[in-house]
A = this chain, B = another copy of it.
Amino acid sequence: MTGRTGRHFLHIPGPSPVPERVLRAMDRQIIDHRGPEFARLGREVLEGIRGVFRTQGPVIIYPGSGTGAWEAAIVNTLSPGDRVLMFETGHFATLWRQMAARFGIEVEFVPGDWRRGVDPAAVEARLSEDRARSIKAVMVVHNETSTGVTSRIAAIRRAIDAAGHPALFLVDTISSLASVDVRHDEWGIDVTVSGSQKGLMLPPGLGFTAISEKARAAARHNTMPRSYWDWEEMLKANASGTFPYTPATNLLWGLREAIAMLREEGLDAVFARHARLAAATRAAVEAWGLEVLCQNPDEHSPVLTAVMMPEGRGADAFRAVALERFDLSLGAGLSKLSDKIFRIGHLGETNDLTLMGALSGVEMALAASRVPHRSGGVLAAMASLGAGLDG
């Protein structure tokens, strides 16, 4: 093994690398979570996080993972027996569906091939058919971390509106928030679910739900038993910058710093950077003669690129070479894509040269693994990045 000196290249689609500034912000002594210094911190992050979700309304911050925030979205707004509309866009959509089922939700799961996102026309068609308005919620994964496909949330919103359907709109932005544009208010999302360890560039350990007035009203009447994830006590405590149970203070300090960094760069610049890096990655993949999993050019993920292995070659052996020889972590294929794809993360604390290091590692690992490919992906990526700069 030659690669284990120097910096690890973490190019899984999250957790993403944590900036030194964020690590440093968290590296400090704990304080009284009921004292005045904490209250200032609490108010600051509760206010600041709204800007990231592009909402005027409340955002709940949980100690927990993004999976917990999924659960929060479900148990606050849905009851056993409720019907919801979901879409098989990949592994995480499937997991969210399983979770809903565990809570007794009846999920209508529109099948998919894991190579494209949610079709807005299908949403409109299905909701229009639902004359009885029996569908309580439409639940969509914005960026499928397992496939590198980003569904078009604004278009889906328009589809719901076109159908004139009152369903709640619940969107998982765990791997898109702060990397891809998310507009909670403008897009009429009722619950936007997210986590700390992707675009927010924090370690894992915080879950988020941004909630609309409509979602909050639904929660008030919802009888699903719940406590930890319940919104109302959270909102009551949050009014004074505190939390109903012990918050993950050090992660909140990190969150404060991450929000400051996003503001300094500017959210739109952040999104443009992700798009540039993603385009360069696809250019490399194409130059290698490999295939990107996502088949809809309008849905390529700015966060990660899933690459299909040539027939007969295992992705996991290739990834092991990348890790062993070049200290490069790539994402694995999940469930039905297991061993069939590898995923290149290009999100968060990433820039042109970090990406070029990673793509060089992929190209060298392809060669070292004798995976059939053309060389020169890195040149194509550089050309793409250069064009991006001049454009």
Are B376 and A7 within 8 A (Cβ)?
no
Interface with B: A44-52, A129-137, A288-296, A345-353, which one?
Answer: A345-353
- Say yes or no: B379 contacts A375, CB within 8 Å: yes
Q: In the complex the two chains form, is B227's CB within 8 Å of A102's CB?
A: yes
Q: Is there a chain B Cβ closer than 8 Å to A312's Cβ?
A: no
A150 contacts chain B at the CB level, 8 A cutoff: no
Are A67's CB and B18's CB within 8 A? no
Q: How many copies of this protein are present in the complex? A: 4
Residue A80, interface by CB 8 Å: yes
Which residue on chain B has the smallest CB distance to residue A362? B353
Kindly list chain B residues whose C-beta atoms are within 8 Å of the C-beta of A332.
34
The total of chain A residues at the interface (CB under 8 A) is 97
Residue numbers in B under 8 Å from A228 (CB-CB):
64-65, 67-68, 71
Interfacial chain B residues near A68, Cβ < 8 Å: 63-64, 228, 245
A236 close to B (CB within 8 Å)? no
A329 in contact with B32 (CB, 8 Å): yes
**A386 touching B360 by the CB < 8 A rule?**
no
Partner of A352, one of B3, B19, B64: B3
B247 near A204 with CB under 8 A, answer yes
Is B356 within 8 A of A360, CB to CB?
yes
A323 contacts the other chain (Cβ, under 8 Å)?
yes
Task: Determine whether the beta carbon of A379 is less than 8 Å from that of B378.
Answer: yes
Closest to A174 in B: B246
Q: Encode contact with B along A325-363: 1 for CB under 8 Å, 0 otherwise.
A: 111110010000000000000000111111011101101
A353 and B349 within 8 A (CB): no
Contact bitstring A284-315, B, C-beta under 8 A = 1, else 0: 00000000000000000000000000000000
Question: A14 to chain B: which residues have CB within 8 Å?
Answer: 246
Question: Within 8 Å of chain B (Cβ to Cβ): is A214?
Answer: no
Q: Does A40 contact B (CB under 8 A)?
A: no
List the one stretch of A22-30, A116-124, A161-169, A180-188 in contact with chain B. A22-30
Task: State which of A106-114, A151-159, A248-256 sits at the interface with chain B.
Answer: A248-256
> Bound state CA distance, A389 and B204, in angstroms?
35
Given the known interface contacts A10-B30, A68-B63, A80-B225, the answer about A352 and B2 at a Cβ–Cβ threshold of 8 Å is yes
Collect the chain B residues with CB atoms within 8 Å of residue A5's CB. 265, 270, 273, 349-351
The answer for the CA separation of A67 and B33 in the assembled complex, in Å, is: 15
Is the C-beta of A241 less than 8 angstroms from some C-beta in chain B?
Answer: no
Selected contact of A31 from candidates B10, B225, B350, B360, CB within 8 Å: B10
Kindly state whether residue A41 has any CB partner on chain B within 8 Å. Answer: no
What separation, in Å, do the CA atoms of A251 and B63 have in the docked complex? 12
Interchain CB contact under 8 A, A26 and B29: no
18 A–B pairs (Cβ distance < 8 Å), ordered by A: A5-B349, A6-B350, A7-B354, A15-B30, A15-B249, A35-B323, A63-B63, A66-B246, A67-B227, A67-B246, A68-B245, A102-B227, A197-B246, A203-B251, A205-B248, A354-B357, A356-B357, A368-B389
